[in-house]
């Protein structure tokens, strides 16, 4: 897939992967499903779900480090600021041949426009939180969140996954 195709697909994901409601029970279900998905793949990730600035789910699998928590914080900051997937923001800057820091002055110590954080979007309301995974290459972090959300929202039959990335 090209950058433009990826960005178009992520915009489609953000339109389709919306919730009618989201609460602690939903966070537990989504977070537990992310953990199960990682275990099924035999990979170690850290998982974080925030709603309106309140952490509802956090889990660090054996094999992750405190560095994953910092990546989560930095990716979450991007989504909280832009209400878009952290991967979409990173790819947008990549396509424009800019950086988030260079374009906006945001400090990379606090903002990481890398894949793995997806907005919790309430239909008719907008972004109210974040779902973040850290531990895999950024495209895989992003894809894991999308796949779990598709299943949770009963949209598994839709073609929302990002395909293989174009060679850079």
CATH of the domain at 25: 3.30.450.150
Number of other CB atoms surrounding residue 53 within 10 Å: 9
Tokens of 20: 């009618």
The total number of structural domains that make up the chain? 1
Say whether pTM exceeds 0.85: yes
Confidence tier at 168 by pLDDT (50, 70, 90): low
Q: What is the pLDDT of residues 108-153, one digit of tens each?
A: 999 999 999 999 999 999 999 999 999 999 999 999 999 999 999 9
Distance CA(4)–CA(111), nearest Å, equals: 23
167 occurs within a structural domain: no
168 occurs within a structural domain: no
For residue 99, what are the domain limits? 3-152
């Amino acid at each position: 897939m090209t950058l433009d195709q990826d960005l178009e697909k992520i915009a489609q994901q953000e339109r389709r992967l919306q919730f009618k409601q989201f609460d602690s029970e939903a966070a537990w279900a989504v977070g537990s499903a992310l953990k199960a998905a990682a275990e099924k793949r035999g990979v170690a990730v850290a998982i974080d779900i925030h709603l309106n600035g309140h952490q509802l789910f956090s889990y660090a699998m054996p094999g992750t480090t405190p560095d994953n928590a910092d990546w989560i914080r930095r990716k979450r900051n991007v989504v909280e600021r832009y209400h878009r997937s952290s991967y979409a923001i990173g790819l947008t800057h990549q396509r424009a041949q800019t950086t988030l820091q260079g374009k906006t002055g945001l400090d990379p110590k606090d903002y990481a426009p890398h894949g793995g954080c997806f907005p919790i979007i309430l239909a008719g309301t907008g972004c109210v939180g974040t779902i973040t995974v850290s531990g895999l290459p950024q495209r895989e972090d992003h894809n894991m969140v999308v796949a779990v959300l598709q299943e949770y929202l009963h949209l598994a039959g839709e073609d929302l996954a990002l395909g293989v990335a174009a060679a850079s």
